[in-house]
Amino acid sequence: MKTHYYLGWFSTFFPENLGRVLQEDITDRQSLAMISANPFFDEEDGTTERSWLDHSGIMFDEYHLINHRIPKEDAQKLIQNASVIFLLGGDTIKQNDFLMAYGLSDLIKKSRAVVMGASAGAINMSSKWLCSKNFGYEVEISSIYDGIGLDNFSVLSHFDLENNISLVQSELAPLSEELNIYASNKDCAIRTKGDIIDIFGKVYLISHSKIQKLDETL
């Protein structure tokens, strides 16, 4: 049974109840493969995301950061051998381009590892996502990007949702006719385990142009 975590951004660390669930799900702790969302910026090292796991007592024997310094073939092997794959936060478009250029998307989709993504990483884990200037992207024309497609829905992660409900609803209405969209702000998580979807924090579902706040289940 595959397990995926779509995370927002956490102000400090994972809350205790979320950390406990992660501890239960992450039983194989041999190798953590982190995929940069700023692959050509050498200072991007995943320290913040790793600290969330450390604080919850989730340590690994090996830690690997995948960016432009890692040869494509080596990056693919690290993904294939990973216990946990963590798509880091940062630039969603650059990470998406990097995943495609390195041929990592299919390998991640086939992997039995626990797959996690924070902010940009969570967005790229989803099936499709909307790139729009209203969501902070430096583009003039909105467009739909294909994500990895770990689950058949779209994600808007780490966005000031509470103050922009009407904007989000109208902007995502066309895509919501095709796919369910899960939208969240900081300190939130969506977990899929097989066919079960669990919610942590303030998460909204946008479906067929309608928006509703979901009850927490974690």
- State how many domains the chain has: 1
Q: Domain residues for 175?
A: 3-213
Domain membership flag for residue 122 = yes
CATH number at residue 35: 3.40.50.880
Whether 43 shows a pLDDT value over 70: the answer reads no
Both tokens of 21, joined, read: 């669930």
Domain membership flag for residue 59 = yes
What percent of the chain clears pLDDT 90, i.e. is strictly above it? Answer: 87
Whether 73 shows a pLDDT value over 90: the answer reads yes
pLDDT of res. 102: 98
Say if pTM beats, i.e. exceeds, 0.85: yes
Residue bearing the bigger pLDDT, 46 or 117:
117
Domain membership flag for residue 28 = yes
With the CA atoms of 35, 41, 45 and 46 taken in that order, what torsion angle do they form, in degrees rounded to the nearest 10? -60
Domain membership flag for residue 194 = yes
Interatomic CA distance for residues 29 and 17, integer angstroms: 20
Domain membership flag for residue 146 = yes
Mean pLDDT of 34-57: 91
Mean pLDDT of 175-200: 96
Least trusted range by pLDDT, from 12-26, 136-150, 153-167: 153-167
Domain membership flag for residue 78 = yes
Domain membership flag for residue 218 = no
Domain membership flag for residue 200 = yes
